[in-house]
Amino acid sequence: MSLNAEVHKLAPSGRIDLYSIDLNSIGVGQIYYFYAGQDTDGTPVVFQGNTYEPWYLIMTGMEKRGTGSSPRPIAEVGNPSRFVTDLCKTYQDLVGATIRRRRTLAQYVIADIAAYHDEFYLIERRAEESNFTVKFELASPLDFLDKELPGMIAIATGCPHRYKSTAGGSGCSWPGTDPSKWFDRTGTSVGSALLDVCGKRVTDCKLRFGANSPLDYGGNPGLGRSNV
């Protein structure tokens, strides 16, 4: 039975929501996978090649509206050891990062069957913060389609391009075929293409293209963070 058919039954068999926060949309090569695990035994969930860790999470305001504006959910996430606070300080409150809700059923997770429904939201602002939780206001990506400068996000510390990809608007033309120019995200030389990961900095671009050559860097290194 399909996912769509299952979720419309009177008693769907174990619906489960899996989440990810993708920082690639703000120029940081990192994705965090998690699920609302505050009421579980803390066991990670593995589905379609990704491991979702239990995390304190409450999502509200995700109900669909028949008319009017898109829903603007609130994501309240746990902040152990001020981990999320540190991310916000480093990456401009994570504004523009992509949150995905992957809705599926427990039986599909157990059998690792690719049956799910995805919903995507962007972090629009950090709404509240404490030592225990951080609340983010989310928005639909559709709300950003008509925005132009200065509404676009420009960051100084990272490149938004997908490494070694020019698909879908990404602008990294580096082929990654030269073993002498394989590096990890810290800029350390590695011996395998599987370990070759861009750190999203200008220095990482120069390591590959050359210090005095044209770069495909998509960030804005001339920007500084303002306190205004």
- Residue closest to 173 by CA, chosen among 208, 138, 224, 129: 208
**Residue 181 burial (C-beta neighbours within 10 Å; 0-12, 13-18, 19+):** middle
- Tokens 């799910």: give the residue: 116
Give the pLDDT confidence score for residue 225 in this predicted structure. 44
Q: pLDDT, tens digit, for every residue of 38-51?
A: 666 778 999 999 99
pTM: 0.60
Say how many C-beta atoms besides its own lie within 10 A of residue 111's C-beta.
Answer: 9
Q: Is the dihedral of CA 50, 96, 120, 161 positive or negative?
A: negative
Q: pLDDT, tens digit, for every residue of 91-116?
A: 889 988 999 999 999 889 999 999 98
Residue 179 preceded by cis peptide, ω within 30: no
Mean pLDDT score, 138-160: 59
